[in-house]
Structure 1
């Protein structure tokens, strides 16, 4: 129980730090993750179902995030060119700017100084990667 509680509390602390940095950009971490995912695609667009799979969240969560991001002008929905049943979500130029600026701030204020030594970071990644691998979290067995 101590290990699980420690992991859960560490997650809460990190998420609070991230959310504080993202607040001025008007996005939550979940919405930031979706924008970042879209920014890494070749075309800037993905089927909403694919975004759900890649982010490992329920499709309803993606729909909710897209609703909010679309209202802010950061993404838009598009009809799929060959599959009428599929809706694409595409990042806008404004969304690209948000991702770039938010990432710079996160790198400076959170990711560069997570509050752990480099040795602790490497140990933590090794331990958690093994745990995640054993839980089937990685598609490629060699990605551990």
Structure 2
């Protein structure tokens, strides 16, 4: 019998940079072993174009992603909730794993800064994947 795939929800304020990059990495690296979602407490209209560009440098396409609003149901169905600067906007449910990743907001930052944020996210996602799958 196959074990159920864990679900991870990445949350930031605008769902346009950090959470989209993290979701892109986990989706690519997990190769179907993890259900991946992202949302924002105050989503904007589009993903940060600089975030799209730096992820494309890694071979990960997040250009078609659309920022979405954080819902209580999204948190309820996730096994792991990773917040990135969204403060107290995320509802708390017992039995869930919560982590807060302190990351700079890439909005309005030069490409070099966004690359540094991207690389930090990649390292954290790899660690998370190893923990979730014991093989990552």
Which is helix-richer, 1 or 2?
1
Indicate the structure whose relative CO is greater, using CA pairs within 8 Å and at least 6 residues apart. 2
TM-score if structure 2 supplies the norm length? Answer: 0.29
More strand by share: 2
The structure whose Rg is larger is 1
